Structure 1
Amino acid sequence: MPRSRPHTEIRRPPFADLPAFLQARRGMLLWQCLAGLLLAGLIAWELHQSHLGTRKASQLAAQNLSLLLKEQLDGAFRETDLVLRDVAGKVAPATLAGLGQLPPAELSALQQLLDDKLSTLPQVDTLSLLSPDGRWSLTPQQIRHADAEQQYLLQLLRDMPGQELLITRPKRLSGKAELGFVVGRRIAAPDGALGGMVVAQVNLEYFNQLARRLEAAAESAFALLDNDMLLVGRYPELPDAIGKPLPDSADFASWVNGRSNGYQVMRWPFDELARGYSFRRLESFPFITLVGVPDDAYFNDWRLKAGAYCIAFTLLLLFSFAMTWRGWREAQLALAARTSAARLQEQDSHLLRALDTLSRPLLLVGADNNQILVVNPSAAQLCGRPAEQLVGVALSALYLYPEQHAQIVEQLNSQQSISDHEIKFRKSDGGGFWVGLSASVIEYRAQRAYLVSLHDIGERKAMEETLWRKATLDPLTGIANRGYFLERAEQEWLRSLRYPVSLGVLMLDLDHFKAVNDQYGHDAGDQVLRSFASMMRDELRETDLFGRLGGEEFAILLPADDERGVRDLAERLRAKLADTPVTLDNGLALALTVSIGGAFCRPTGERFEVLLKQADQALYAAKHAGRNRVRYFEPPEARVDA
């Protein structure tokens, strides 16, 4: 008899048995539905949080850009007012009273003063002096009869004795297509009467220049408005809209009125592109900066993420159903797996398993001796050392500054937890890296312990450093900008009041720099400024503060340096530039010189700006002595004795 083959086929239930499957697995399917709803809720929560984070990043970008633009405009306008104050302080009212009859030599000296100051203000087109009778106006180029607008400003100052500064509404500049405004400052006579006026014509094209320099996402919008919602400047440019009120300006005014800054998502009325807009008011001038960052620049990735989550959720549901179906088909194996009883694990075993499987860096630290008890792989990777080398090491030994551990322990003892504490950990090479540390008090093996969670925040700290550099450094030369220089200098001045330390300050101005811009172009001028700043910086100490005040005017603060040291450094800087031609990118070598004014004294109760003004007066003397010279401020009594 032939032998029969052993029967090894397993009968698989056909899909016609679906009702039986649903009946047998109804409990599991119900739990899967609940789990699916829970997972859907978690995904929705994650997408919502991600959306909020993306919106926050977009808002932060717009706010940072608007802050940078506002600070630079505020600085430029304040610089204009400081120059007006300086000119008003240097021109005698009696000289202005006889402006129409001044000898040519005196007129030339006044015009040179105006030209020197005008060269430091890239945002100003014209600088002029007005006689108190309103008849004569002196510019760096000519003396002529004052126009009606100048006479009107002079009359306003005469009618308002307490008013020191007047600013006109934006208008088309004389002979130009750009918008601008006129700033007039009173020059007071000794008897308090109006002794004349110094006038600056500010070109708002300077706004577009600043906007172009900012690093913004594509299709970002920058606007400058006055308090009546008139569009004064816009980048990218919209020539047809300049000088006109914003569409729906009443709604916009209701948003900005009564606020110094704000953020709102809306569509720009000219291109209907959705952007997150941040506005800020200038502190001393009647203008509002408005910066819009397009939503698409930030939310395209979020939309891709949301689509990926939805697809993954759908595939997971289908996979879950398929696996349940297969489990039912292999009922005996599934039943055997479900009926195999597993002993309960101790709480510590569960904790160790969780530490080992979680991807977040985690440490378990004994509270009594501060020693690390357990390290998961992610924490070992973050610390750059094998886990077995970290076990038994004191947690404070991982810090770059171990003394900070006492503060962390104190907070854990008082509040039982600590969240996102920023601290530097030590690298294996001795360097440091930033970590966000969170911890809570738990019980492990019947003893108090700390469950410590770590995450790397180096990228965020680097971004903060980048934003700080943008706010404090001159973007062209890489040295301190005017605002940061004056702030640091004032701090150094106040510090020197507490200690017997002398201070020296040098002001440097490139000779004939305007001719470089006129003959070779502004790109060549920028190269000259960068080369000059690098050349000077090589000669300075780490404790010296080097800053660009504006245009081709620079300043150096020399703390704890005696008079001889200041004089030696000034002459060394002057000689280095005179002996070292500046080579442009096109190979052209330019021979340049610098005029330097210096001042030094032990600090008194006055402000630092007094010492800076003395150095400026010395610089003015160096210019008029023929340039390529160093001059120092001499008190009036010293000049009399000489």
Structure 2
Amino acid sequence: MTKRASIASLIPASQDIYRKIVFEIADGIIGIDDHGIIRLCNPATESIFGWKSGELLDKPLEVLLPERVHGFHQKLVASFQSGNTEARYMGQRSATIAGRRLDGTEINLGITILRTSAAGSPMMVAVIRDISDHVRYQNDLKRLAETDSLSGLLNRRAFRANVLQSVSANATSYSSMVIFDLDGFKGVNDRFGHDAGDEVITCFSDVLRNSIRATDIAGRWGGEEFVLFLPNLKAREAIAIVERIRANFSGADFNWQGHPSANFTVSAGLAIAAPGCADLSDMIASADKALYEAKRAGRDQLVCLEIQQEALAS
């Protein structure tokens, strides 16, 4: 048998191997024509997206994508089709492709696409992997790294990072920084125990979280000190939020076995920055100065300072 004949005899066997791989691999494999219509799909694809056998064929690819990403996905595909590379991983290092299951739920996908042809017509084939569990795991790690374990609020490093982003996005608006200090907190630990102290911390954290807007940024600065950034608010509005937080916390009752019901108060320093004056370090320093004045004046009160352009220049 010649070498040419031996190679030819392997072709049918190779096709069977490839067919077996396509139909039994855990990754989804899907092929679309140049109109974006699904012409090939393996059982793993149907399983990933929750469709029954054969139902995806002749459907537009968009049925597997949330509507909000249709335009973005079409641009990615067009860019790949007009390029010179034969294969490409879709998405970015910091982002994944969103997929839509038949029941409407969304999943995170890793997708590699390549160009080929079938029956003389161009076809684009995608190898799809459901990476939702991996994404959830990474998000959990990120949340743990950024969150104070007791309060559930942002830790100091994450608070700074989030505020810097917000300051950049709201440079032309009024912004406020607040530092809270729980009055007499050391006495709570000494008199009632550290578990009681943890309960007070948790209670104030809940009050803070439930008293602010979705755009506000709250964190635990350390110990019994908390921080709050309020973008797009003038003085009167910011003061109203801070006073609401203080009132809600002072109204909370704490009951520990063997002790009468207790209530606690909080002091606050508020720094309000005019448009163009929202420097993070200056706002924190001014809020800390205002907090010191509130504590020196007897605690259980709010002191407010305004940061103007001339103050930054001095």
Counterpart of 2:44 (choices 362, 372, 378) is: 378
| Aligned equivalent of 2:84, options 407, 411, 414 | 414
- Is 2:190 aligned against 1:518? yes
SS at match of 2:215: coil
Does the 8 Å contact 1:375/1:387 carry over to 2?
A: no
Equivalent positions of 1:36-185 (< 5 A) are: none
Structure 1 residues 485, 354: CA separation in 2 closer, same or farther (over 3 Å shift)? closer
Q: Residues of 2 paired with 1:544 and 1:635: CA distance?
A: 19
Alpha carbons 2:99, 2:108 under 8 Å: kept: yes
Aligned length: 291
**3-state SS, counterpart of residue 84 of structure 2:** helix
1:548 pairs with 2:228:
no
Distance 1:493 1:358, change over 3 A: closer
1:577 maps to 2:249: yes
Q: Report the residue type matching 2:300 in the other structure.
A: N
How many angstroms apart in 2 are the aligned matches of 1:512 and 1:346?
A: 80
Within 2, Cα distance between the matches of 1:585 and 1:454? 58
Which ranges of 4 or more aligned residues in structure 1 deviate by more than 4 Å?
344-354, 583-589
Q: Is 2:76 the counterpart of 1:402?
A: no
State the Cα deviation string for residues 73-128 of structure 1 (Å, max 9, x = none). xxxxxxxxxxxxxxxxxxxxxxxxxxxxxxxxxxxxxxxxxxxxxxxxxxxxxxxx
Normalised by the length of structure 1, the TM-score is 0.42
- SS of the residue aligned with 1:449? strand
Q: For 1:397, what is the secondary structure of its paired residue?
A: helix
Q: Which of residues 458, 461, 475 in structure 1 aligns to 2:132?
A: 458
CA gap of 1:354–1:580, structure 2 versus 1, over 3 A, is closer
Supply the distance in 2 between the matched residues of 1:583 and 1:417 (Cα, whole angstroms).
Answer: 65
CA distance 1:603–1:612, shift in 2 (3 Å) = farther
1:558 correspondence with 2:230: yes
- What displacement does 1:389 show? 2.4
Inter-CA distance 363–635: structure 2 relative to 1 (3 Å threshold) = closer
Q: Which residue of 1 aligns with 2:202?
A: 530
Report the 3-state secondary structure (helix = DSSP H, G, I; strand = E; otherwise coil) of the residue aligned with 1:389. coil
Distance 1:635 1:358, change over 3 A: closer
> 2: CA distance between counterparts of 1:536 and 1:369?
52
Deviation of 1:455 after TM superposition, in Å, equals 1.2
Distance 1:563 1:431 in 2: 43
CA separation of 1:519 and 1:410: change in aligned 2, threshold 3 A: same
1:405 and 1:504, CA in 2 relative to 1: closer, same or farther beyond 3 A?
A: same
- Mark the CA change 1:517 to 1:444 in structure 2 (over 3 Å): closer, same or farther: same
Residue 493 and residue 361 in structure 1: after superposition, are their counterparts in 2 closer, same or farther (change >3 A)?
closer
Secondary structure of 1:596 counterpart = strand
* Partner AA of 1:393 in structure 2: K
Counterparts of 2:257 and 2:165 in 1: how far apart (Å)?
A: 39
The letter for the 2-side match of 1:540 is I
Shift of 1:585: 9.0
* Corresponding residue SS for 2:102: coil
Letter in 2 for 1:398: L
1:489 aligns with 2:167: no
Structure 1 vs Structure 2 CA RMSD: 2.8
Deviations 1:376-418 (A, max 9, x none): 1111010111233211122243122122232144235421112
SS of 1:621's equivalent in the other structure is helix
What's the offset of the Cα at 1:586? 9.2
Tell me, which stretches of 5 or more residues in structure 2 are unaligned? 1-8, 309-314
Structure 2 distance, partners of 1:577, 1:429, is: 43
Separation (CA, whole Å) in 2 of partners of 1:586 and 1:408: 69
Matched-pair contact (CA < 8 Å) for 1:527–1:584: no
1:593 is aligned to 2:302? no
Shift of 1:546: 0.6
1:515 deviation in Å? 0.8
> Does the aligned pair in 1 maintain the 2:76–2:90 contact within 8 Å?
no
Deviations 1:186-220 (A, max 9, x none): xxxxxxxxxxxxxxxxxxxxxxxxxxxxxxxxxxx
- Alpha-carbon spacing, 1:588–1:386, altered in 2? closer, same or farther (3 Å): farther
Structure having greater relative contact order (Cα 8 Å, sep ≥ 6): 2
Structure 1, unaligned runs of 5 or more: 1-341, 637-642
Cα 1:379/1:526, change in 2 over 3 Å: same
Distance 1:417 1:529, change over 3 A: same
AA aligned to 1:384 is G
2:31 corresponds in structure 1 to 364
CA contact (8 A) 1:396 1:405 kept: no
Shift of 1:492: 2.1
Q: Deviations over 1:309-368 (max 9, x none)?
A: xxxxxxxxxxxxxxxxxxxxxxxxxxxxxxxxx9x86998886565334443211222x1
Residue in 2 that maps onto 1:620 = 292
- Structure with max Cα Rg: 1
Distance 2:131 2:257 in 1: 40
In structure 1, give the amino acid aligned to 2:264: L
- 2:119 matches 1:424: no
C-alpha separation in 2, matches of 1:635 and 1:405: 47
Q: What's the TM-score once normalised by structure 2's chain length?
A: 0.83
| Cα distance in 2, alignment partners of residues 532 and 562 from structure 1 | 24
1:565 to partner: Cα distance: 0.8
Distance 1:584 1:600 in 2: 38
SS in 2 for 1:387: coil
Question: Offset at 1:588?
Answer: 7.1
Contact 2:271 2:307 in 1 (8 A): no
Q: Note the C-alpha offset of 1:459.
A: 1.3
The 1:590/1:428 distance shift into structure 2, 3 A limit, reads farther
Q: What is the CA deviation profile of residues 132-154 of structure 1, one whole-angstrom value per residue up to 9, with x for unaligned ones?
A: xxxxxxxxxxxxxxxxxxxxxxx
C-alpha distance in structure 1 between counterparts of 2:119 and 2:233, whole Å = 63
Change (3 A) 1:353 1:574: closer
- What amino acid is the match of 1:395? L
Residue type matched to 2:111 in 1? L
